[in-house]
Structure 1
Amino acid sequence: MGCEIQHSATSPMHANLTWKFTTQGKFTVRSAYRAIMEAEERERASSSTVQPRIVVSWDKFWTKLWVVPVPPRVRLQVWKFCAEAVPTLQNLQRRRPKIDQQCIQWGANTKNTEMLQHMLLECPFTKIVWALSNIPWCILSAWIGSISEWFSSVFQQLNRADQQHFLTLCWALWQNRNKAVMEGQGKEPLKVADSAFVFLQNYQAARRSQEASD
C-alpha cells in the first residue's frame, strides 16, 4: 500500500499526494478500504511462509529515537506510547468503569475497544492513513507482543526517511484522536497524512536553516 508524494513547485513545503489506487489519482475512502482488504488478503495468503523474526534491540532503538530528526514532541509522544502512558479509553476504563471504550475515530462502524494496538494499527481509519504513506504494510502489520516491541521492530526495518515519517504519523494519529475527543470531529485520513508530512518537512527545513546560520 502507498501513494506517490510530489512537491509543489510553488510551495515546496506542501505535499501533493497522488493516490495510486484510482485511475485519476484521487483519494476515496472506498478505494482505500478496498486496498487495505486486498493487502490483508495477500498477507493471509502468504502466512504459511515462515518469516524471519526481527530481533528487538532495545538499546539501539532508544538511542536512535532520541536523536532522530523529528520534532521533540513527536519523540516524547512515542516514549509515552511505549510506556503505555496515554489516556486511551481502555486505560481510562480502569479508573472509570462506566466509560465507553468504543473506538472514537471509527465510531459506530466498529465495536473495537480503543487500545493502542487498535488505534495505531488495526482501526480502519488508521489503516487508510498508513495506506497513504510509503511505509510497507508487511512491516507495520507484524505486531510482536507489546507496543514498545512493535515500535522497535518497525523502526529497525525502515530507512532513515521512513523512520521519521513513521514516528510523525503515529504522533499525528494521536493528535487527530484527541481532536475527535475534544471537538467531536477529527480530520479525514488524507488530511492526517498530508498534515503530518508537511509538519515534518517544515521542522526539518527550520533545522537546516538554523544549522546554516550557526
Structure 2
Amino acid sequence: MEWLNSIFPNVAKLWPYIVKSLNETLIMVSISGVFAALLGVPLGIVLAVTKKGELLSFPPLYSILSKIVNTVRSIPFVILIASIPWLVRAIVGTTIGMKGAIVPLIIACIPFMAKQTELALQSIDKGVIEAYRAMGFSEIAIIFKVMLKEGFSAIIQAVTIMLVGLISYSAVAGSVGGGGLGDFAIRYGYGQNKTDVMFLTIVIMLVMVFFVQWVGDSLSKLVSHR
C-alpha cells in the first residue's frame, strides 16, 4: 500500500471525512433523483398529451407548463441555489448542508425530466396510438398501456442522464455549503492546497458516473428487448 500512500499522502488521515462526504452525496443524489422522477415524469406526460394535435390536446395548458419548464431549465444551478433560499428554508428549515441542497437539486432536475419524458413519448409512432384508438381504447388507457410502455426505455435513459447530472450538481451544491464530495473537495483539497485530495474526489465522482451510466444503459436495453 506504500505506492497508494505516495500517490495520496493526505488521504489516510482524511478517510473518515471522505466516507462521510460520499454518503452525503449518495443520499443527496438518491433522494433528489427519486423526487425529480416522481414529479418530472407525470409533468412530462401532461406536456406530451396536451400539445396541439396530441391525445388530449389542450394548447393553453401546454403553453403555460412549457414556458415554466423552459424558464427553470435555463437558470444556471448556482444562480438557482442563490435565488431560492427562502423556499428552501420554508421546506426543510435550513439553507446549508445536505438538507439545504436537496430542494434546489430537485427543482433543477424536474424540468429536465419533464422535457425528456415529453420527447420520449412524442417519439412514439403515431400510427400505433391511432390503432389503439380505433380498437376502442380510452385516452387514459393509451397513455398507461401504450405510450408509457413504448417510451419506458427512453425514460430510463432520461433518468440515467438526470442522475449523472445530479452528481455534478451535488458537487456544485457542496462548493457553496451543501455538503457531500463538493464540500469535501473545496474544504480539504482546494482550501488546503492538497492536490491528491482533489484528484481522489474526481476519481470517486467518475466511478459514480460510470456506474450509474452502466446500470442505466443495461436497464434500458433490457426493457427495450422486451
Q: Shorter-normalised TM-score: what interval?
A: under 0.3
Q: Which has the larger share of strand?
A: 1
TM (normalized to structure 2)?
0.27
Q: Which has the larger share of helix?
A: 2
